[in-house]
Amino acid sequence: MALPALLAGLDAGEMDQALEALEARSRLLAWKKLPEKLVLLRHGQSEGNVDHMLYTFKGDSRIELTKEGISQAKVAGQRLAQITPPDANVIVCISPFERTTQTLLALYSGGFDQSLVSKVHVDPQIREQEFGNFQDPGLTQKVRAEEGRVGRFYYRRPNAESSADVFDRVTQFFDKLFGPIGDDGGIGILTRAKSKYDMCLIVTHGLTIRLMLMCLFQWSVETFGTVWNLGNCEHVCLKKNMETFTYEICPEESFPQRVPWASREIFLVLRENLAPQDLIERLERLMDTRRHLADGSAGCREELAKLDKIIDGLENQMLRARSLPYTVINYLEISQPRTMQTIEVLGHLVPGHGHQKKTPEELEAMRDAPERQQVEFIDWWGDQLSYQGKMLRTNRITRGVSGRLTEKVELDLGEAA
């Protein structure tokens, strides 16, 4: 076929089906080259885990394992040996920090077969989040206060990184690891090797692992904030699914044997709970004042904006008065989009907030929630969002001054993940 005719055929779409088949075949071949398993493992107990003051004079990259951390890594080596095929071709990707290096060596010592490892790739992009050269203990209280106002994902300490910064470099790491799958057959670290890797072990840090999972599973910022760090030398195993071209969490080969633990504090607004009468009357007066201002001259715009803020704060206060605090546990097991799954969410609730020091097992034993018909509204945001923002997020119309929400549609438009 002459070139002009070929180009004309392409423009006319005559070869679309063949091109689509070629693209699908290229993607299939690229995924076949990828390892059957990705294992993300956190380092063993470090000096910094037991003595936070160490960070005031010792660089984070030089923090070493404790004796307990070495023991943990040896036991983890035995666990990894059980999920590694005897003839596997393994690649290890590792943070360059001393505690991750020592963890890998202790894994070998504990029973993870070093002879199976054909490549060790040391990559600074999967190092721990930078908190500054040295950490001033006097900053802690100030940092906590500012972090709450800015948001944990976005907050950056002085001379440090935010979690968003780490997310960016972790994303770049995966681009380098996998290559542009589907574009040209993949030219990443995992796909350029002559022989296929059966398993990729990534030895890194707790927060870094959470951000890796956020990247792989496209979690929202809100979902990322619900996930707990893995314990020292705990790991998450991901298995390749060739039908969906994705990696999926395999609880059976993870340790502990579950999806990563996640919890989220919420408030349930109950139908039977009305706002206090004094707040209702105050809202009515403020709404009357607003109507009068709105009927006045255009010069009242600034006063209206201030009054709207006061009204919004009062509406949030009324919402809180009608609410009870609950914590959603095992959050990642809820189907996506999670904030729309009201029935599922009610099956994952424990009463109250502030359960961070309880174990997952203790929290599982505390499950308890009201019936679906008792719940009018799930407030996912608490003090982090205005009343107006909550109504927009959940596609609701306000307001009967009774303090009860007027529902437009029973539809939650919270984060998709």
Active site residue 272: no
* Position 400 confidence tier, pLDDT thresholds 50, 70, 90: very low
Asked whether residue 170 is assigned to any structural domain, the reply reads yes
Say if residue 185's pLDDT is above 50.
Answer: no
44 labelled ligand-binding = yes
Asked whether residue 54 is assigned to any structural domain, the reply reads yes
48 labelled ligand-binding = yes
Q: Please tell me whether residues 151 and 119 are part of one structural domain.
A: yes
Q: Please tell me whether residues 181 and 297 are part of one structural domain.
A: no
Closest by CA position to 238, among listed 212, 264, 218, 220: 212
Rg of the chain (C-alpha set):
26
Asked whether residue 91 is assigned to any structural domain, the reply reads yes
Asked whether residue 5 is assigned to any structural domain, the reply reads no
Please report, for the domain that includes residue 250, its CATH number. 3.40.50.1240
Q: Please tell me whether residues 195 and 144 are part of one structural domain.
A: yes
Structure tokens belonging to residue 339: 């904030």
Q: Is 190 left (phi over 0), alpha (psi -120 to 50) or beta?
A: alpha
Say if residue 29's pLDDT is above 90.
Answer: no
Tell me what the mean pLDDT of segment 389-399 comes to: 79
Identify the pLDDT of residue 128: 98
The average confidence (pLDDT) of the chain is 90
Q: Please tell me whether residues 240 and 291 are part of one structural domain.
A: no
Q: Please tell me whether residues 278 and 370 are part of one structural domain.
A: yes
Say if residue 1's pLDDT is above 90.
Answer: no
Q: Please tell me whether residues 202 and 321 are part of one structural domain.
A: no
Active site residue 130: no
* Position 296 confidence tier, pLDDT thresholds 50, 70, 90: low
43 labelled ligand-binding = yes
Say if residue 299's pLDDT is above 70.
Answer: no
Identify the pLDDT of residue 394: 84
Between 13 and 280, the more confident residue is 280
Q: Please tell me whether residues 237 and 344 are part of one structural domain.
A: no
Q: Please tell me whether residues 283 and 248 are part of one structural domain.
A: no
Q: What percent of the chain has pLDDT over 70?
A: 90
Say if residue 194's pLDDT is above 90.
Answer: no
Asked whether residue 400 is assigned to any structural domain, the reply reads no
* Position 407 confidence tier, pLDDT thresholds 50, 70, 90: very low
Q: Please tell me whether residues 82 and 168 are part of one structural domain.
A: yes
Is the torsion defined by CA of 294, 296, 297, 303 positive or negative? negative
b/e burial code for range 135-161 (CB count within 10 A of at least 16 → b): beeeeeeebeeebeeeeebebbbeeeb
Say if residue 184's pLDDT is above 50.
Answer: no
Q: Please tell me whether residues 73 and 199 are part of one structural domain.
A: yes
Per-residue model confidence as pLDDT tens digits over 329-385: 999 999 989 999 999 999 999 999 999 999 999 999 999 989 999 999 899 999 999
Identify the pLDDT of residue 13: 74
**Residue 120 carries which side chain, given as an amino acid letter?**
V
Between 107 and 187, the more confident residue is 107
Per-residue model confidence as pLDDT tens digits over 215-239: 999 999 999 999 999 999 999 999 9
Asked whether residue 2 is assigned to any structural domain, the reply reads no
Asked whether residue 11 is assigned to any structural domain, the reply reads no
Q: Which residue, of 243, 260, 277, is where some domain finishes?
A: 260
Q: Please tell me whether residues 212 and 304 are part of one structural domain.
A: no
Asked whether residue 280 is assigned to any structural domain, the reply reads yes
Catalytic choice (14, 64, 128, 272): 128
Say if residue 182's pLDDT is above 60.
Answer: no
Q: Could you tell me whether strands 117-122 and 90-94 are parallel, antiparallel, or unpaired per DSSP bridges?
A: parallel
* Position 320 confidence tier, pLDDT thresholds 50, 70, 90: very high
Closest by CA position to 378, among listed 261, 264, 278, 283: 264
Between 135 and 209, the more confident residue is 209
Supply the range of the domain harboring residue 373.
264-393
Identify any residues that bridge with 42 across adjacent strands, giving them in sequence order.
Answer: 204
* Position 413 confidence tier, pLDDT thresholds 50, 70, 90: very low
Residues in the chain: 417
Q: Which residue, of 234, 260, 286, is where some domain finishes?
A: 260
Q: Which residue, of 233, 260, 287, is where some domain finishes?
A: 260
The domain tally of the chain equals 2
Q: According to the 3-state scheme, what is the secondary structure of 176-215?
A: HHHCCCCCCCCCCHHHHCCCCCCEEEEEECHHHHHHHHHH
Catalytic choice (43, 205, 235, 348): 43
Q: Please tell me whether residues 144 and 195 are part of one structural domain.
A: yes
Q: Which residues contact 80 (CB under 8 A, 6 or more apart)?
A: 39, 41, 107, 111, 112, 201, 235
Write the DSSP assignment of 139-172 as a string of letters: GHHHHHHHHHHH-TTT---TTS--HHHHHHHHHH
* Position 23 confidence tier, pLDDT thresholds 50, 70, 90: confident
23 labelled ligand-binding = no
